[in-house]
Amino acid sequence: AQSVAQPEDQVNVAEGNPLTVKCTYSVSGNPYLFWYVQYPNRGLQFLLKYITGDNLVKGSYGFEAEFNKSQTSFHLKKPSALVSDSALYFCAVRDPSDYKLSFGAGTTVTVRA
Amino acid sequence: DADVTQTPRNRITKTGKRIMLECSQTKGHDRMYWYRQDPGLGLQLIYYSFDVKDINKGEISDGYSVSRQAQAKFSLSLESAIPNQTALYFCATSDATGMGETQYFGPGTRLLVL
């Protein structure tokens, strides 16, 4: 069975500071990993994904994520957060042999001016 | 994503009523999904369809049914709505070709069952 954990319900940072949203996963094989963002009253928007290759993945809006196989983690990062990054962030994992995408519970990010 | 639309965006209904949520996509994807989102639980898969003739139950299909009317349309029905079906419902699509297919989501339908 595959699963995702987002250990922090909320992350608060000041604008201009680095932002990190944590994600750990459990899957039997090599994982496909995804990050989505949900702005208020909007659907989930795809940010980035890891399939294979370089452990550092770059995505939309200046976000990046680092795949760490030994720690089974896929943390989302942004070097300098903006107030407009305030949103709900979801990590998701899929076993390549399966159709199912499993989501974490989400982390609410608040960036204060 | 404007390529995936959902109607209605908001709906209030009463216990026991039958309602239908609709999803349309212009992305040309074969695969479509229905999820519900509850606070603190992430997204849970209700039903999925890999093509018009292939419909499958997800994790939480009890109390729901679906119809895939065309490649571009996938509807979710609540046959007899109950209050614990109050949630945010999302439709998603994906393209089966290539590695690590990405799911693209609609804007959601907020449903309140009284």
Please report, in tens digits, the pLDDT of each residue of chain A (113 residues total).
789 999 999 999 999 999 999 999 998 888 999 999 999 878 899 999 999 889 999 999 999 999 999 999 999 999 999 999 999 999 999 887 777 889 999 999 999 99
Nearest-neighbour CA in chain B from A92: distance (Å) = 10
CB A28 within 8 A of CB A89: no
**Residues forming a β-bridge with B34:** B47, B91
Nearest-neighbour CA in chain A from B13: distance (Å) = 20
CB A33 within 8 A of CB A93: yes
- B44 pLDDT more than 90: yes
Q: Which amino acid is at A31?
A: P
CA angle A78, A89, A97 (to 5 degrees): 105
Closest partner residue to A105 (CB to CB) among B42, B92, B100 is: B42
Average pLDDT of the segment spanning B13-27: 96
Judged by CB atoms closer than 8 Å, whether chains meet at B43 and A51 is answered as no
CA distance B6 to A113: 34
B63 touches chain A (CB under 8 A): no
pLDDT, tens digit, 9 for 90 and up, residues B89-112: 999 999 876 666 889 999 999 999
Give the closest residue to B16 by CA, choosing from B65, B85, B79: B79
Closest partner residue to A43 (CB to CB) among B50, B90, B100 is: B90
* Per-residue confidence (pLDDT) for residue B97, from 0 to 100: 67
Contacts (Cβ under 8 Å, ≥6 apart) of B106: A43, B1, B4, B5, B6, B23, B25, B90, B91, B92
pLDDT, tens digit, 9 for 90 and up, residues A79-93: 999 999 999 999 999
- Nearest chain B residue to A104, by CA: B42
- What the block records as the tokens of B59 is 């994790």
CA distance B108 to B106: 6
pLDDT, tens digit, 9 for 90 and up, residues B49-79: 999 999 999 999 999 999 999 999 999 999 9
- What the block records as the tokens of B110 is 């907020």
Q: How confident is the model at residue B40 (pLDDT cuts 50, 70, 90)?
A: confident
Q: Exposed, middle or buried: residue B35 (CB in 10 Å: 0-12, 13-18, 19+)?
A: buried
Judged by CB atoms closer than 8 Å, whether chains meet at A94 and B48 is answered as no
Judged by CB atoms closer than 8 Å, whether chains meet at A106 and B40 is answered as yes
User: How many C-beta neighbours within 10 Å does residue B33 have?
Assistant: 26
